[in-house]
Amino acid sequence: MAEFADDPHSHARPNEIAVGHLHLDVTVDFDEQRLTGRATFRLDRTAADADVVVLDTWDLEIRAVTDAAGAALDHVLGDHDPILGRSLTIETGGADTVVVDYATGGDARALQWLEPAQTTGERFLFTQSQPILARSWIPCQDTPAVRHPYDATVRVPPGLLAVMSAENPTERSADGVYSFAMPQPVPSYLVALAVGDLEFRPLGPRSGVYAEPAVVDAAAWEFADTEPMMEAAERLYGPYRWGRYDLLVLPPSFPYGGMENPRLTFVTPTLLAGDRSLVTVVAHELAHSWSGNLVTNATWDDIWLNEGFTVYFETRIDEELYGADYTAMLLRLGRQALEAELATLAERDTWLSLDLAHRDPESGPDLVPYEKGSLFLRMIEQVVGRERLDAFLADYFDRFAFRSMDTVTFLALLRTEVLEPAGVGDADVQLEAWVYGPGVPANAPEFPSDAFDRVDRQADALLAGTAAADLDTAGWAPQQWVHLLRVLPTDAPHAVLADLDRTFGFSAQRNIEVATAWLELAIRSEYVWGAAEVDDAVAGFLDRHGRSLYLRRVYAKLAATPRGLDRAREIFATAAAGYHPVARAGVARMLDAA
Ligand code: BES
Ligand code: ZN
């Protein structure tokens, strides 16, 4: 059997020669918005007679390719593929080290260069490599099936701090030169770099947070539960294997809620809600330290093995720290979001096992691997019992640590190690329907929530004529407000929505979850068109935030009507300049399809 999976999203041929180690030496040039440097690869011959190593590149300028002694090696760049970029095929001539001198191009999609106006004060650069953007800043075998340790020397303007998904400094260096080591083997999508005016605050004995000075103390307060989360995670599924776990708070244009870069999770500043209500994202990224970073999806078609497992693990951490009632709310909101997405997807994109060949993996479903994947594991848990599933998962993360996993292999393990010992057959759990079928099978678990039942009663009262001020909302969590806004019907009277906004100030709401739910309601009900302050709130939201999924949710609601689509295009025309390339492309794809 081949050691590495065939990955439709990489040119690399690791079954011939695989990269075994990377040393990166790069200079960060903010004025030219360019990285220049040298990548030195140590090669592992997977096939004894193999002589070429194939790397992925995206808009890279390849300046020289040599062996360790500096002798030029024959190499060729393939044609540009609009999804994969260009292959770089190097004749190794038997060498076990190859050295590539390169520079990034103008379309380096992994990089966002920020001006001081886009941060709290200084220039900033960050990378986002997942899923296949690493190749736009490092020539690499850009498939999650190949993993290796790396180290790096990074040269930045003095005064700025550089951090990576590696062992990190906590103090600035005088000369702007930093050295990094990631001794454990990681796939290319987990190689990450950020450069900015960063300060560090410790959170616990092996955790801390980096952020710009203006937000670092707020961040340290918000993320105070990081160490307890690590302890809960370890009790569930075994030791944390990466040494330290730090967080980096990025500027607002960071296109995700979080990104599980090993040893240094990147997070959006929208998590700084001031009430610790959004820290489940930290539990999520921390959980990836097992599901994803230790045991890694073999290809992006198997991403549910990363994300579905991680949502399951995330909500198990939440349950340990915040209790089952709180977690039930998160599970309910997850299911609602999944149902909303399912209504928009082609049927094939609703399977757990995806087929993303010949497509940009970022054009796949957003939530199916996450929420359907987590529901699948909750269903298995319900059938075989928590104890049995937990024992299996702890062993799975240990046994397959630093290896990749595909759907077929995982299902075989599940059958022989979990289902059969419990006397459960495929049909008893509708295994085939879950993994190779559309939508959510009927045996999905439900998550009763008293807190949401209370919200439902207030929603009924509101629609029956109770004034907003007379609703019983004392002590509601943000998740309850989100639920209220989601259950209100599209034909809710505009007078009711006006009363709600006046009473609860939704248009001025800064919690991104509540704000998104409100704007979606105001747009789908067309209330927005009669209320200038709500239209302003929409434009302000789309201008201020960079989280791709949340942007697309609001833009999608706008794009559903001709008037809204015009408004969406108008807002996008000015806001897009501040978006990360990933978010910009995602919104553009959606508006073009509308
Ligand atoms: N690994 C993902 C982000 C990602 C996925 C980037 C696929 C590129 C391609 C990260 O762990 C994630 O899932 N982030 C979520 C937050 C989470 C709590 C659901 C996000 O960004 O919203
Ligand atoms: Zn994730």
Instruction: Spell out the alpha helix ranges (H) of 153-267.
Output: 213-222, 226-237
- Answer whether 0.95 is exceeded by the pTM: yes
Count the Cβ atoms, other than its own, within 10 Å of residue 139: 27
Report the distance separating Cα 547 and Cα 195, nearest Å.
20
Q: Is 433 near ligand 1, meaning CB less than 6 Å away?
A: no
CA 562 vs. chain centroid, Å, equals: 32
Q: Is 88 near ligand 1, meaning CB less than 6 Å away?
A: no
Q: Are strands 61-67 and 17-29 parallel, antiparallel or unpaired?
A: unpaired
Atom 20 of ligand 1, nearest CA residue = 257
Q: Please, which residues have CB within 8 angstroms of residue 348's CB and are 6 or more apart in sequence?
A: 355, 438
Report the distance separating Cα 17 and Cα 98, nearest Å.
12
Q: Is 307 near ligand 1, meaning CB less than 6 Å away?
A: yes
Please answer whether residues 205 and 314 qualify as being in contact, where contact means their C-beta atoms are separated by less than 8 angstroms. Answer: no
Ligand with an atom nearest the CA of residue 513:
1
Q: Is 284 near ligand 1, meaning CB less than 6 Å away?
A: yes
Q: Which amino acid is at 544?
A: R
Atom 6 of ligand 1, nearest CA residue = 130
Please answer whether residues 78 and 97 qualify as being in contact, where contact means their C-beta atoms are separated by less than 8 angstroms. Answer: no
CA 94–ligand 2 middle distance (angstroms): 40
pLDDT of the chain along its 594 residues, tens only?
468 888 999 999 999 999 999 999 999 999 999 999 999 999 999 999 999 999 999 999 999 999 999 999 999 999 999 999 999 999 999 999 999 999 999 999 999 999 999 999 999 999 999 999 999 999 999 999 999 999 999 999 999 999 999 999 999 999 999 999 999 999 999 999 999 999 999 999 999 999 999 999 999 999 999 999 999 999 999 999 999 999 999 999 999 999 999 999 999 999 999 999 999 999 999 999 999 999 999 999 999 999 999 999 999 999 999 999 999 999 999 999 999 999 999 999 999 999 999 999 999 999 999 999 999 999 999 999 999 999 999 999 999 999 999 999 999 999 999 999 999 999 999 999 999 999 999 999 999 999 999 999 999 999 999 999 999 999 999 999 999 999 999 999 999 999 999 999 999 999 999 999 999 999 999 999 999 999 999 999 999 999 999 999 999 999 999 999 999 999 999 999 999 999 999 999 999 998
Please answer whether residues 62 and 87 qualify as being in contact, where contact means their C-beta atoms are separated by less than 8 angstroms. Answer: no
Report the distance separating Cα 90 and Cα 98, nearest Å.
8
CA 433–ligand 1 middle distance (angstroms): 25
Report the distance separating Cα 317 and Cα 313, nearest Å.
6
Q: Is 191 near ligand 1, meaning CB less than 6 Å away?
A: no
Task: For residue 549, give the ligand 1 atom closest to its CA.
Answer: 22
DSSP state of 219: H
CA 258–ligand 1 middle distance (angstroms): 6
Report the distance separating Cα 549 and Cα 371, nearest Å.
14
Q: Are strands 295-297 and 403-405 parallel, antiparallel or unpaired?
A: parallel
* Predicted local distance difference test score (pLDDT) of residue 1: 41
Please answer whether residues 141 and 149 qualify as being in contact, where contact means their C-beta atoms are separated by less than 8 angstroms. Answer: no
Report the distance separating Cα 339 and Cα 327, nearest Å.
19
Active site residue ranges: 285, 370
Q: Please, which residues have CB within 8 angstroms of residue 474's CB and are 6 or more apart in sequence?
A: none
* Predicted local distance difference test score (pLDDT) of residue 568: 98
Length of the chain: 594
CA 365–ligand 1 middle distance (angstroms): 12
Q: Is 268 near ligand 1, meaning CB less than 6 Å away?
A: no
Q: Are strands 111-114 and 295-297 parallel, antiparallel or unpaired?
A: unpaired
CA 100–ligand 2 middle distance (angstroms): 32
3-state helix, strand, coil in the chain (%, to 5): 45, 20, 35
Residue recorded with tokens 């789908």: 524
Residue recorded with tokens 């957003």: 366
Please answer whether residues 139 and 102 qualify as being in contact, where contact means their C-beta atoms are separated by less than 8 angstroms. Answer: yes
Q: Residue 454: which H helix or E strand, with range?
A: helix 450-463
Task: For residue 361, give the ligand 1 atom closest to its CA.
Answer: 9
Give me 148's structure tokens: 């290796």
Report the distance separating Cα 68 and Cα 91, nearest Å.
14
Whether cis (ω within 30° of 0) applies to the bond prior to 213 is no
Give me 563's structure tokens: 């008037």
